């Protein structure tokens, strides 16, 4: 969530590479976090074959999250002061969209665009 009084609010999971490799040897944290979510979703689908197509809000998130939990690491939610301009790093000066940035309002969509040739 971005653009409110906290500037931003980050919610997600944190899993270190060492934690990931203690769960599945040779895998990265990202791989485990994605795979854990897929495992939990497939487990729910197998247990609920007559539910049809569901959107995430319709799912029993507590049980799905419990099934993903061994693979995703610590669940974390906290304010952040990040905005798309504060730490912007144009790796290719002169070829990006720097001239099109809206410095008066960091939350404008154009400020999130990846620098691309003009």
65 close to 105: Cβ distance less than 8 angstroms: no
> pTM of the predicted model, to two decimals?
0.68
85 close to 101: Cβ distance less than 8 angstroms: yes
Q: What is residue 75's three-state secondary structure?
A: strand
pLDDT in tens, 22-62: 999 999 999 999 999 999 999 999 999 999 999 989 999 99
Of 101 and 94, more confident: 101
What length is written for the chain? 118
For residue 118, what pLDDT is reported? 55
Closest among 106, 89, 101 to 3, alpha carbons compared: 106
Highest mean pLDDT among 41-45, 78-82, 111-115 belongs to 41-45
DSSP state letter for 80:
E
Rounded CA separation 111/35 (Å)? 32
24 close to 60: Cβ distance less than 8 angstroms: no
Of 49 and 8, more confident: 49
Of the pLDDT bands very low, low, confident and very high (cuts 50, 70, 90), residue 98 is: confident
Rounded CA separation 71/32 (Å)? 6
Q: Domain residues of the chain, as ranges?
A: 1-82, 84-118
Average of per-residue pLDDT across 97-102: 80
Of the pLDDT bands very low, low, confident and very high (cuts 50, 70, 90), residue 86 is: confident
Name the β-bridge partners of 14.
74
């Amino acid at each position: 969530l971005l653009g409110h009084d906290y500037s931003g609010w980050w919610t997600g999971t944190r899993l270190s590479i060492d934690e990931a490799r203690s769960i599945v040897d040779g895998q990265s944290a990202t791989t485990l976090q994605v795979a854990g979510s897929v495992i939990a979703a497939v487990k729910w689908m197998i247990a609920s074959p007559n539910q049809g197509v569901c959107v995430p809000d319709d799912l029993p998130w507590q049980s799905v999250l419990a099934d993903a939990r061994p693979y995703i690491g610590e669940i974390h939610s906290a304010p952040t002061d990040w905005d798309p301009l504060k730490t912007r790093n144009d790796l290719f000066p002169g070829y990006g969209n720097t001239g099109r940035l809206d410095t008066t309002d960091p939350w404008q969509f154009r400020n999130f665009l990846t620098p691309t040739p003009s």
